[in-house]
Amino acid sequence: MFLVILGLGTWISGGKAFNPGKLSAQRLANQAGDTLPGYSAHVDFEEQCKLCHQPLKTTQDVLCLECHQGVAGQIQDQEGTHGHVPAVNQCFHCHPEHRGRDYDLIAEALEKFDHEQTGFSLNRHVLGYTLHPIICTDCHTREKGFPIQLESCINCHAEPDSQWMIQHREDYGPQCLACHDGYDRMSQFDHAETQFPLDGKHAGLVCTDCHQLDEKQPAFEQFALVSKDCVGCHADPEIHYGLFGTVCSDCHTSDDWKMVNWRGKTFEHLASTGFSLDRHHQNFDSSPMRCTSCHPDSLETFDAQSCVGCHNQQDPIEVQMHQEKVGPNCLDCHDGVDRMMAFDHASVFQLDGAHERLTCMECHAAGYRETPADCVSCHTEPEIHAGFFGVNCQDCHTTQAWSPALLKNHSFPLDHGGSGLVACRSCHPDKFTQYTCYGCHEHQPGEIQAEHLEEGISAAELPECTHCHPTGQEE
């Protein structure tokens, strides 16, 4: 009897006997792109329970989606807000009803919505730069799928530094989500974890040096589709002449393009050969100079005739005269920079005084490499002081003139007699270890001996004049 009465009451009241509360009056039209047929809010069909409840016939989510066509489309296309919601068929978990006219069905859902499901974290998007709380509509519109307004990202992040934001947009485009996920993915990004670590000369590059923005491609492809091959950025130099292929890493490293690893050994042309290629990129006819220009037979051999053949294009007469004068061994003088063009002989051996008038071949008759700089290499030690003064000629002589010498330790005045410097041979006619005063003074040996004997000076002591006359004076 009770069940019969209960059933009749439910049928007569249209189910209102079990209504747990009033429905929300929140307008739902256009939410997520929905067009609710004949209704603008749930309250409009509050007395038609079967629109949402048909137990034993179908589930509630099916009835929800019959009205909310926009949500159904999101779920089907796996896009928009509902395309990222787990257990999306349990609508009442996020949108509970019968909680009164003022109940906000969307606010309740957003509190429960896990934004991580969209691929963008809100961990760093709780407060704005002015410390105001960030709300959903700061970034999203209320249109279908709550699309994000990328201008909102740009306007917000321009607050602390507008110029930086302008440049950032020019460099990488307006598609913020192509690079940023809110954590922020780029701030923790380590390029070394990719297949192309940025080391050596690559370490100083900025992103746009390799990742050029192309408006014809999706923004993410600016970073995803960059070639990892060297030739993607570095064209094969003409100097290679196709000899080495395009796998640059076989010889080159990112530390220094000019320093290469040739057959297991470090090779840099200047350091390894002593010859720089800085001025040897083109031939005189402007054609590219290649390895085979100087190494026609083998990269491991060099023929100086290659230099002659090339420089003949500019001035064959000068080349011929040059060879006749200094010989055919070009590398003895030239290092490609060119060493001789700006060569300062003073950095090796000062050419002054009598040396200044010398020609190259007077010292470099046998070539230029390892020419000795010692005086005795050109000046034979004179017999007059052989074995007495040594071979450090510069201790006594200058390049102005070989004679007179500068005797720093000569105790006897060299201007003896008051007529200027006395020539060495005047006192030392045979060798510098012996001297005589009789070359200038016309002494009478007998009288001098008698006078000196009176002073107690014996005949044996008589030749040592400077013992008694150290200054050349009589007293």
Q: Is the pLDDT of residue 17 over 60?
A: no
- The per-residue pLDDT of the chain, averaged, comes to 80
- Residue 12 pLDDT: 55
Examine residue 460 and state whether it is found in any structural domain, yes or no. no
C-alpha–C-alpha distance, residues 364 and 104, integer Å: 101
In a shared domain, residues 244 and 219: no
Give the number of domains in the chain: 3
Average of per-residue pLDDT across 74-84: 82
Final residue in a domain of this structure, among 228, 254, 280:
228
Same domain, 252 and 196: no
Same domain, 43 and 142: no
Report the percentage of the chain scoring pLDDT > 70.
Answer: 87
Of 6-15, 27-36, 70-79, 162-171, the least confident:
6-15
Phi, then psi, of 6 in degrees rounded to 5:
-65, -40
Q: Considering the domain boundaries, does residue 21 fall inside one? A: yes
The whole-number pLDDT of residue 22 equals 92
Residues 224 and 242 in one domain: no
Do 194 and 273 lie in a common domain? no
Tell me whether residue 294 is in a domain. Answer: yes
Residue ranges of alpha helices (H) inside 289-380 are: 291-294, 305-311, 316-326, 360-363
**What 3-state class would DSSP assign to 196?**
coil
8 and 109: one domain?
yes
Q: Identify the domain boundary among 113, 147, 167.
A: 113
pLDDT tens by residue, 169-227:
887 778 888 778 887 766 667 888 887 888 888 888 877 778 776 666 655 566 666 77
- In Å, how far are 213, 220, 236, 264, 469 from 229, measured between CA atoms? 19, 20, 12, 22, 91
- 191 plus 266 within the same structural domain: no
Per-residue pLDDT tens for 410-441? Answer: 788 878 877 777 877 788 888 777 888 877 77
Q: Domain range spanning residue 93?
A: 2-113
| Final residue before a domain boundary, out of 332, 350, 376 | 332
| Amino acid 469: pLDDT | 86
Mean pLDDT of 305-318: 89
Please state the rounded mean pLDDT for residues 286-310. 84
Residue 250 lies in a domain: yes
Q: Which two tokens stand for residue 212?
A: 């050029």
DSSP structure string for 94-131 = HS---S-TT--HHHHHHHH--GGGGT---TT-SB-TTS
State residue 270's pLDDT score.
Answer: 84
Specify if 385 maps to a domain. Answer: no
In a domain, 371, yes or no: no
3-class state of residue 18 by DSSP:
helix
Alpha helix positions (H), 59-104? 60-67, 69-77, 91-94
Percentage, residues of the chain above pLDDT 90 = 2
> pLDDT category, 26, cuts 50, 70, 90?
confident
Task: Give tens-digit pLDDT for 358-374.
Answer: 888 788 877 776 788 88
pLDDT, greater one: 220 or 389: 389
| AA identity, residue 190 | D
pLDDT over 60 at 6, yes or no: no
Based on the fold, state whether residues 101 and 144 are members of the same structural domain: no
User: Is the residue at 159 inside a domain?
Assistant: yes
Residues 224, 243, single domain; the answer is: no
Above 60 in pLDDT, residue 102? yes
Q: Is residue 442 part of a domain?
A: no
**For residue 151, what are its two tokens?**
């201008």
Q: What are phi and psi of 54, to 5 degrees?
A: -140, 70
Tell whether 10 and 108 lie within a shared domain: yes
Q: Are residues 92 and 22 in the same domain?
A: yes
- Judge if 160 and 181 occupy the same domain: yes
